[in-house]
Chain A
Amino acid sequence: MPTEATEMRTLGIDIGAGGTKAVILEDARTILAQVTVKTGTNLSDAAAAAEAAALSAAGLQRSDVAYVAATGYGRYQYPGRDIQITEITCHARGALFLFPATRCVLDIGAQSSRAIHCDERGRVRKFKMNDRCAAGAGRFLERVSRGLEVRLEEIGDLSVKATDPTPISSICAVIAESEVINHVTEGRKMEDILAGAHASIADRVIALLRQVGVEDEVTLTGGLSVNAGMVKALEARLGRRVNVSPDSGYAGAFGAALLGHRRLEKLRRAS
C-alpha cells in the first residue's frame, strides 16, 4: 500500500457573498493552506480561483487532495466539489476547531448573520439567521462607510476610538447611509457615528443569539470577525468575552474541510 494514503488531505471551500475562503487540512489537524479571494459575480470562478490559490500555497496538486467539501451560499455553483454542506453545520464545527469550548457561534457575514447553539462535539442544537435584509450584516457597514467616505478596512479601528457613540435609528442599510450623512453635517464625529453603526449590528445579532440561548463560550466567525469595533460592541452588549482569532473568518471553510474528512473516512470504511 502506498505511504501517501495514510495522510488524508481535505479541502474546505466557503463561497460567501463577500469573500470565498479555501483551506487545506491534513488529517483533520494540520493547516496546509488558507486563502481568501473576492467572490464577485461569478461564484464558480471565485471557487476555482480560491482552490487554485490554496493548492499553490500548499505546494500541492489537485490529485494530492482526497476530498473537496463546499459550503456557503454559492456551494451548489461549484462543479469541483465532492460534497456540499450547509454553512450552519460548517461554522459550528469550524468554531470548535478554533475554540474547543465553543457553545455559541455568532457568524456575521457580508449578507447574512447567524446565531448557532451547538453541543460539545460541535453538533448544531438550534440556530437563527437573518439573510433577508442587509441590516445586521456586513453590507450595513459597507453602506455606512460609503456614506462617511471612509475605507471599509478602517472603520472598526476608528469606531473603537469613540467617546460618545451616536445612535443610528435606521435599521435599513440604505436609509442608514443617508442618516449618517446627516449626522456628519450636524457635526458628529466620524468615530462616534461608526461606533453607533457597530452597536446597531451588535444589537441585531445579539437578538438572534438570545433566541438560541446565550452560553459560554461564544465564538465570533465570518467576515466581520476581523473588525475590532465589532468585537468591542458585541462584548460590551453581551457583558461577556467573545472568542475571536485571525482565523475566525475561515471557520466555515475549516468546518467544511473537517466534515469532508469525516465523510471520506466513512466512505473508505464502507468500501
Chain B
Amino acid sequence: MTHVAGVDVGSTATKAVLLDGNGKIVGTGICPTGANVVRAAERVFSEACKTAGVEEYDVAYVIGTGYGRYKVPFGHAQVTEISCHAKGANALFPATRTIVDIGGQDTKAIKVSPNGDVLDFCMNDKCAAGTGRFLEAAATVLDLGLDAIGDVSLRSTAPLKITNVCTVFVESEIVSHLAKGEKVEDILGGVHNAIAGRSVALLRRVGIEDEVTFTGGVSRNAGMVHALAARLNTRINVNPMSQFVGALGAAMFSLERVRHGTAPPIAEPKENAANAHGGH
C-alpha cells in the first residue's frame, strides 16, 4: 500500500504525519526544532514511519511545510503552511471556515472555502506579541512549565489587564504584578486574554465565520481555547491532532499528487496587502 507524508518544520516544534493510501492517519512524530532543522525533520519522519511500521523508503511522496520547509532534505515538494493549515483543518473539521493558527513565533488568521481552499489570510510574524513566545515568556517569569500555565489561567476569578504589547516588557510587568502580591492565576488569565485579543483582531481582518478551528502548538493550551472562545463568543474546534494540522495538510497534498500521478499545481495564496502584518 502506498504511503505519503507531510513534515511541518515550525519555529518551535517539527511535526510529521504519515497517511496510508486511503488518507487515514497511520503515524505521527514530533520533536523540538532546535538549531539543527534538518535533523529535526529526519527525526520526526522516522518516528512517524516507526509508529506505523512502515519503511522510510516505502513512503512515495513527502511534502515539507512551515518556515523550515526548504530544509526537509527528503521532501519532494514544498507548500506554504497557510495552504497546509487550510487543507488539514478541513480534514479534521470539515465545516471549518475560519482558522486561527497560533504557533511558537507567529499567528495566522485564515479564511477557507468549504473545500479547504484559502480565501484570505493575514499573519503576524514580525513581533512575538500574541504568539507562543509571549506565553513562554510568562511561563519563564512565573517559573511554571509551558504546559501548566493554561490550566492555571483557568482558575482565575479576576484576570488582570496586561497593558504592555511587547513580550519583553510584559516580563517586567508580570514581575511588578508579582511584587504587588497579585495571584498567579489572575496574571495568567490576563496574559491569555491579551493573546486572545490580538488573535481576534487578526481574525477580524479576514472576517470571522463559523466554524472556527484552532491549530498550531498553542492549541494544546486549554486556557487559550477558553480565552478565544470567550472573546469570540463561539465554540472553537480543537482536538489532540490540532498541533499536527500543518503536517496533515502537507500529507494530504502528497496524497493528491500521488493519486494524480503528476504534480497538480497548488495555488500559493497571497496575503491581503491591506491586511499585512499584525505588528505593533
Point out residues on A near B: beta carbons under 8 Å. Answer: 17, 41-42, 111, 132-134, 139, 143, 170-175, 178, 181-182, 184-185
**Cβ contacts B165-200/A at 8 Å (1 or 0 each):** 111110010011001000000000000000000000
Q: CB distance A111 to B176 under 8 Å?
A: no
In the assembled complex, how far is the CB of residue A251 from the closest CB belonging to chain B, in whole angstroms?
23
What's the minimum C-beta distance from A178 to chain B, rounded to whole angstroms? 7
Instruction: Take A41-B175, A172-B127, A174-B128 as given contacts and tell me if A185 and B165 are in contact as well, using a CB distance cutoff of 8 Å.
Output: no
Choose from A17, A133, A143, A171 the contact partner of B165 (Cβ within 8 Å): A133
Please name the residue on chain B nearest to A176 by beta carbon.
Answer: B128
Minimum distance in angstroms from B173 CB to a CB of chain A: 10
Given A132-B280, A178-B105; A41-B168 close (CB under 8 Å): no
Q: How far is the CB of A92 from chain B (nearest CB, A)?
A: 25
Of all chain B residues, which has the CB nearest A133?
A: B166
Whether B166 contacts A134 by the Cβ 8 Å rule is: yes
Can you name 12 A-B pairs with beta carbons within 8 Å?
A41-B175, A132-B166, A133-B127, A133-B165, A133-B169, A134-B166, A134-B167, A170-B126, A171-B127, A172-B126, A174-B128, A182-B35
Shortest Cβ gap from A204 to chain B (Å): 12
Which A residue sits closest to B136, measured CB to CB?
A: A174
A172 / chain B contacts, CB cutoff of 8 Å: 126-129, 167
A182 to B126, CA, bound (A): 17
B91 at interface by CB-CB < 8 Å: no
Indicate if the CB atoms of B126 and A174 lie closer than 8 Å: no
Interface assignment of B36: CB less than 8 Å from any CB of chain A = yes
Please give, as numbers and ranges, the residues of chain B lying within 8 Å of A42 by CB-CB distance: 179
Known: A171-B126, A175-B127, A182-B35. A134 touches B168 (CB 8 A): yes
Q: Which residues of B contact A139 (CB under 8 A)?
A: 168-169
Q: Give the CA-CA distance A111 to B166 in the complex, in Å.
A: 10
Instruction: List, in ascending order, chain A residues with CB within 8 A of B179's CB.
Output: 41-42
Which residue from A41, A175, A181, A182 sits with its C-beta under 8 Å from B176? A41
Knowing A41-B176, A171-B127 are in contact, say whether A185-B35 is a contact too (CB < 8 A).
yes
A-B contact count (CB 8 A): 53
Give the chain A neighbours of B129 by CB distance below 8 A.
Answer: 172
- Looking at the assembled complex, report how far the CB atom of A234 sits from the nearest CB atom of chain B, in whole angstroms: 22
Interface residues in B, total, Cβ within 8 A: 20
- Out of B105, B133, B176, B280, which one reaches A133, CB within 8 Å? B280
* B121 → chain A closest CB, angstroms: 20
- Interface presence of B11 (CB below 8 A): yes
Q: How far is the CA of A181 from the CA of B12 in the complex (A)?
A: 13
Q: Top 3 A-B pairs ranked by shortest CB distance? A: A174-B128, A134-B168, A133-B166
Of B133, B165, B168, B169, most buried by chain A (CB within 10 Å of CB) is B168
B137 lies within 8 A of chain A by Cβ:
yes
Closest to B125 in A: A175
Residue of B nearest to A181 (CB): B35
Alpha-carbon separation in the docked complex, A139 to B137 (Å) = 14
Return B278 CB to nearest CB of chain A, in Å. Answer: 12
Given contacts A143-B168, A172-B126, contact A185 B36 (CB under 8 A): yes
Min Cβ gap B39→A in Å is 11
Q: Which A residues are in CB contact (< 8 Å) with B168?
A: 111, 133-134, 139, 143, 173-174
List of A residues within 8 angstroms of B35 by Cβ: 181-182, 184-185
- Name the B residues within 8 Å of A185 (CB-CB): 35-36
* B105 cross-chain contacts in A, Cβ below 8 A: 175, 178
Complex contact B165–A175 (CB within 8 A) = no
C-alpha spacing A172/B126, complex, angstroms: 7
Interface string of B196-224 (1 = CB under 8 A from A): 00000000000000000000000000000
Most buried by B among A132, A172, A173, A178: A172
Given contacts A173-B168, A174-B133, A175-B126, 11 further A-B contacts (CB under 8 A): A111-B172, A133-B166, A139-B168, A171-B126, A173-B167, A174-B128, A175-B133, A178-B105, A181-B35, A182-B35, A184-B35
**A205 → B minimal CB distance (Å):** 16
Q: Across the two chains, which residue of chain A brings its CB closest to B127?
A: A172
- B169:A134 contact, CB within 8 angstroms: yes
Report Cα–Cα, A182/B35, bound state, in Å.
6
Q: Compute how far the CA of A42 lies from the CA of B172 in the bound complex, rounded to whole angstroms.
A: 11
